[in-house]
Amino acid sequence: MPNKKKSKQTRQKELWENIKKEPFVTDEELSEYFQVSIQTIRLDRLELGIPELRKRIKKVAKENYSKVISLRASEIIGELIDLSLDKDGISLLETSKDMAFEKTNVVKGHHIFSMAESLAMAVINAKVALTGVANMKYNVPVLAGQKLIAKAEVSKIRGNKYFVHVKINVKQEQVFRGKFILVAI
């Protein structure tokens, strides 16, 4: 629920709490929430020593890339936000016009699939892994400029086979789901 005119001190305290709860909130979203200009939010962040969204994402991602065994950091599509090997992981991808069809502005499916597959591979504890089976469904078109949040979960491990479910959302709406069977070699 948006806040009505609060003191600077109160707004900054709530801003700090909001970013701690949701570190990937944008300045624009905060601006709408607090009903102040984006510049006011940026000044508040600067005074509080809170880096911009890009730097916050990069910092978190850098800490998680070192955990990945099956891929190089550069092979993961999106920013790796959270990772627990053989359990789950989260990645974030900001889509752009160069990922979309010019005529429709719809992001091409291979970008979305690549995000899901690379997260599925990153989450398993294996030196080398291949996708054996992929069952996927695109639920809603993604438009250039939308932020994708992928969540992967290892549902079962049987021998050298890892069963991984990946869901990708834009805000709270699921746009893609995939079930992968990855084979560790």
Could you tell me the two tokens for 30? 């905060």
For the sheet with 79-84, list strands across it: 79-84, 88-94, 147-158, 161-170, 173-184, 129-138
- Provide the CATH number for the domain formed by 58-184 in this structure: 3.10.129.10
Containing 122, the helix (H) or strand (E) segment is: helix 109-123
Strands 129-138 and 173-184, how do they pair?
antiparallel
CATH of 8-50, one of 1.10.10.10, 2.40.50.140, 3.40.50.620, 3.40.50.800: 1.10.10.10
DSSP letter for 34, please.
Answer: H
**Each residue's pLDDT tens digit, 48-76:** 888 787 777 776 666 665 677 777 777 88
**What's the whole-model pTM score?**
0.70
pLDDT tier for residue 3 given thresholds of 50, 70 and 90: very low
- What is the number of H-type helices and E-type strands within the chain? 5, 6
Report the C-alpha gap between 121 and 17 in whole angstroms. Answer: 33
Provide the pLDDT for residue 64: 65
Where is 44: in which H helix or E strand? helix 38-48
pLDDT for the residue 27 = 87
Residue 136: pLDDT over 60? yes
- Summarize the confidence of residues 94-113 as an average pLDDT: 97
pLDDT reading at 161 higher than 80? yes
**Domain-by-domain residue ranges, the chain?**
8-50, 58-184
At 16, the pLDDT band (50, 70, 90 cuts) reads confident
- CA angle, residues 11, 92, 12, in degrees to nearest 5: 10
User: What pLDDT band is residue 104 in, cutting at 50, 70 and 90?
Assistant: very high
